[in-house]
Structure 1
């Protein structure tokens, strides 16, 4: 069982799979407590090139370390060190075993550390689309932490695609992504749909009274999130909205392009043009008058917000998922109330 654990851990880490060859002799024997003690003493002696220094590290006598290593050599039937009066040098077999044992102990230490830190008080790593994290998630998280004061969450603003390998490698327990929800090896639960509306500042609207319908808007004044989700077509959101209102498609490559929706919205807030706003990100600005919707009609986005995890039932994951579902219902209620104020309802 011990060796199975080591080998599996090495395979999963992506490191060269060397233990099959290096520990073949040890695998013939049951790894009793005696063998593990011998390996511990051998590892310390190999790292320090000295029985004396190994003894100091392990808080035992020099003679005890020397004796344990000798028992291991007799057990394997090969010398592991070349001993002289002034030096202790690993043999070829000793070098191979030292590499294997060192890596094995490191894998065990890493696994023990991860298990020790996996309790409820462990900070949960949540990877979240940056604009959503800044404009929707963060303003609401205070209530979550007031309800669950023992919950610890680290929010990482990222828009790179998630897959099982990356989540395991980077110890990401959960993710929130604005995308199409196509995940083959992960759980992806949609908790909030999205609607698109062109938005601009009141000052911009006042300065451009000639813009009354979509065909009046020059493409040079369009503000774009050029990468709304992973592998999305350039200008996907403007194209989706224009098609949804049966408006002609202008030269969408013109105008300012950003890699975050928040940057496009910030540009709109400062009067630089018209951004394609996602209601989850701009509804508060619309309600407070900092932004104004153009052309009345919202259009449903192709993408939605998904809560992503790795099929691992954990209490802190359930707490966050339930909270997201509850907060999204509150938001949808406010959004539906705003929809009712529009001349052209979705």
Structure 2
């Protein structure tokens, strides 16, 4: 039997593969930028054309039949092979422009001040930094023409190379003005929820009070009703509010190092706690030479910074004990 891959048949297959991967018409529709009803209809067209069911539609989940699972595996492998070939064919263009998707707060607070050194050392690499914090997978990176990324999260990636290059430590920070206006704030037991500044989106999937809850739990302090604090969707915004004397932010050492060293921010409780998240460098399974160069440069910069950061944190702790 001869089968022609018409545009309609290809659309049906694409919708079916995404639906099985997510076990959801709604999530597949979000990826494909169409409506949930359109995806459901396309899958139904495919089932009618094959004259067999491919999905068992339960109230809470879509489950592929044995035939549906077989087809989904073949489609996924085929799409990956096509995607890999297209990436190889576009390698020359990628070598001209290396697009790095980077968590915005890290890009502004840590990466950008160091980029001048990179450009001087590697004038042949046209590095383009894009501030983003949405979740990534290989398909999303290929669709957005992004060949590498930096994310602050737990590093749970299925189809990308994810290499941790910098750990992170959490430490509360406030301006000297704020601390002078709140002399009652002597120990962590004096913290109150309305004083706190929150980054409510530290990484995709994290809770809105992840970092404060994590720090408080490790130092043995309890601040009820954390939601009474002030909320931001970027760590840099919370830090900016702290610099303006509006409260106490949960600082990430990579982002508050310069402000602490210059005295613009103060760490009233010098008990840094290791964050659950780290900074990860993400790339495809076959990165270009320029991507590998960027990764190596980032790792070297992180190693230098880590030594300076650890010395600062030790110095802060020593100063507190000396008081």
Provide the TM-score with structure 1 as the length reference. Answer: 0.67
Contact 1:197-1:294 at 8 Å conserved across structures: no
Number of residue pairs aligned between Structure 1 and Structure 2 = 245
Q: Mapping of 1:58-97 within 5 angstroms?
A: none
TM-superposed deviation, 1:340: 2.2
Contact 2:193-2:223 at 8 Å conserved across structures: no
Cα distance between partner residues in 2 of 1:115 and 1:164: 15
Cα distance between partner residues in 2 of 1:209 and 1:328: 36
Q: In the alignment, which residue of structure 2 is the partner of 1:115? A: 90
Spell out, residue by residue over 1:121-151, the C-alpha distance to the aligned partner (whole angstroms, 9 max, x if none).
Answer: x111111100000000111011011000011
Q: In the alignment, which residue of structure 1 is the partner of 2:176? A: 202
TM-superposed deviation, 1:112: 10
TM-superposed deviation, 1:342: 2.8
Residue 192 (str. 1) matches residue 166 (str. 2): yes
Q: In the alignment, which residue of structure 2 is the partner of 1:77? A: none
Spell out, residue by residue over 1:200-228, the C-alpha distance to the aligned partner (whole angstroms, 9 max, x if none).
Answer: 00111111110011221210010000010
Q: Mapping of 1:327-346 within 5 angstroms?
A: 327-343=301-317
TM-superposed deviation, 1:117: 4.3
TM-superposed deviation, 1:118: 2.5
Provide the TM-score with structure 2 as the length reference. Answer: 0.71
- Work out which of the residue numbers 279, 285, 295 in structure 1 matches 2:259: 285
Cα distance between partner residues in 2 of 1:206 and 1:119: 52
Cα distance between partner residues in 2 of 1:286 and 1:171: 37
Contact 1:196-1:299 at 8 Å conserved across structures: yes
- Structure having the higher Rg: 1
Cα distance between partner residues in 2 of 1:211 and 1:343: 18
Structure 2, unaligned stretches of length 5 or more? 15-81
Structure 1, unaligned stretches of length 5 or more? 1-6, 19-106
Contact 2:192-2:223 at 8 Å conserved across structures: no
- Work out which of the residue numbers 188, 191, 198 in structure 2 matches 1:214: 188
Residue 317 (str. 1) matches residue 317 (str. 2): no
Cα distance between partner residues in 1 of 2:277 and 2:242: 22
What SS is found at the alignment partner of 1:340? helix
Instruction: Call closer, same or farther: CA 1:208–1:146 in 2, change over 3 Å.
Output: same
